[in-house]
Structure 1
């Protein structure tokens, strides 16, 4: 044994994570906070009750747990929220994980953001090894943007995109496809993104958490959206992968890539290599299932990282084959009660 960062380590912490279906888990998504400075109507209730700060893992605890997963074979970490950049002193964790990238222990550190804080943090993110980020933009109409986010300012998000690109960060735009809201705007968003050298991924709304509206009113199958786009564009399937669930096509007319995330119409679970860690230390082996493993109390009870490693191994044995997402009039309650902001977007 040797001592590293104050914790006891042993060689058995490095056994890779293989789930019951033979999939190697190499991608960890970490929700660093459930808080967000937007209140997107399809994601959150307007009057959210956020977790007390005392229930959250400290940034030092998040660093320790991320390190344990890296020891177990995780090669990519995505920081999410809520909005990750509203977490106080979040750059402490970015710097710590950025050192893992610099030393070759981690292939990639990235994050998903609403862009509201990007103008402030873009340069520092780039300096600490962040090379790619996802920015969520569902509309380029400032009035509609304020409506869908309830409080968001599109101009600040676009300024953040400018700052990130200036810092050399590659951006992928994420847009949730919403019936009778932005379905007619997707071609414009795609032309804008591709014109700036950014990929675009469109996402089906996911049935997670109680919100004010009925998701069936907003649900747009991406098979319908794709059929509509193919009346204007030539979409050619390609084999590009980023480690996530997107399936990409190349758009002949723009030369850019368009991704589809289809948890409802086409299950994306067969090649899932991901697990999700919440800001309270709960590990979800599947976004669409409730089975979980709790790490906060365990971490606070021991400095022996072999105990953490064994708990990770046990959790991975419970990773399911797939999720149970469904949206229809007969299933008008969310498939999963927790909000997306709690699990990590």
Structure 2
């Protein structure tokens, strides 16, 4: 992929009406995934027709427009981004912004099933860190949570990532009746291999064929459980996302807590998300959005694209409104896989 897009737009940084500087873009490469995790998808999903997705060249152009406006971190998400055909060409194209210093970090979130295949190539493209979703260390439970897939394949992917020199952070969704049983083992596993562990409250996005109230485990409760074995100290370190971190005295490692349900982190939000179809969402927990495709496809210049981005940023809400109603039904029909969380 070779692209160099000239824009007449101002290089003015993106700042919303609440004074928050937007420096982080999460770009979904696809809504497809090779797993069907119970908190993320229904077992029988209907995915977008491939013709509706942005081309990888369009994704490069769009992401580059954000870099021109001061975005310094880009995370490629899904679905599972590595199932997108020729996805490496997008990383290779965006790496030019790393080379010239405009982009500080290019990374991805993955389920790990294809990491053994792609880890070395990702490292060559300038990726230095990956987030890998891993909710259990038990092979049988892994199969139950993902409805398919092999824990061994993910373990091979983790090893390949570290062998390639990639820093790895594990993401675990806190699930009632699951995470309580495994949290101590997850901490020991992650920190024993030099990996951070981030715990995430399940978010009420999309119909997944399960009662959300049966899944939800507040991280305040989980932290109390962790503290029965481990000594935690709150630290001020941040990695550019919403996680609040603690240091574990016994391991020296970090645990992150992402709490969209029990504790809002909206006051420091620096993120926007773009779907694989080119729709810009300024908040994961709201339906505020603007379709960037007309600006991408209707003009050779990026001026219209910057105008559309500016309009979206001005409409960015103060915060999300995640909640689960009395029937356990999510308030947003959009599945997690549409934007990557």
Same fold, judged at TM 0.5 (above): yes
CA displacement 1:36-58 (0-9 Å, x = unmatched): 00000110000000000110000
2:153 and 2:90 map into 1 onto residues whose CA distance is: 24
Residue 195 (structure 1) aligned with residue 186 (structure 2): no
CA displacement 1:41-92 (0-9 Å, x = unmatched): 1100000000001100000000000001101110000000000000000001
* TM superposition shift of 1:16: 0.7
Which residue among 47, 56, 61 is the counterpart of 2:58?
Answer: 61
Contact 2:211/2:327, CA 8 A, preserved across alignment: no
1:45 and 1:110 map into 2 onto residues whose CA distance is: 27
**42-51 or 296-305, larger mean C-alpha shift:** 296-305
Residue aligned with 1:175, SS: strand
| TM-score relative to the length of structure 1 | 0.97
Residue aligned with 2:266, SS: coil
Residue aligned with 2:324, SS: coil
1:305-344 correspondence runs (5 A): 305-327=302-324, 330=326, 332-344=328-340
Contact 1:13/1:68, CA 8 A, preserved across alignment: no
Structure 1: runs of 5+ lacking an equivalent? none
Runs of 4+ in 1 over 3 A off after TM superposition: 4-8
2:317 and 2:37 map into 1 onto residues whose CA distance is: 29
1:268 and 1:7 map into 2 onto residues whose CA distance is: 35
Query: For residue 101 of structure 2, what is the aligned residue in structure 1?
Result: 104
1:8-47 correspondence runs (5 A): 8-10=6-8, 12-47=9-44
| Aligned residue pair count | 340
Contact 1:8/1:306, CA 8 A, preserved across alignment: no
* TM superposition shift of 1:296: 1.2
Structure 2: runs of 5+ lacking an equivalent? none
Contact 2:203/2:260, CA 8 A, preserved across alignment: yes
Residue aligned with 1:249, SS: strand
1:224 and 1:34 map into 2 onto residues whose CA distance is: 32
* TM superposition shift of 1:255: 1.1
Query: For residue 155 of structure 2, what is the aligned residue in structure 1?
Result: 158
**Cα–Cα, structure 1 residues 8 and 98, in superposed 2: closer, same or farther, change >3 Å?**
closer
Contact 1:264/1:327, CA 8 A, preserved across alignment: no
Residue aligned with 1:34, SS: coil
Query: For residue 90 of structure 1, what is the aligned residue in structure 2?
Result: 87
Contact 1:38/1:149, CA 8 A, preserved across alignment: yes
| TM-score relative to the length of structure 2 | 0.98
Contact 1:114/1:137, CA 8 A, preserved across alignment: yes
Which residue among 287, 290, 298 is the counterpart of 2:287?
Answer: 290
Contact 2:201/2:218, CA 8 A, preserved across alignment: yes
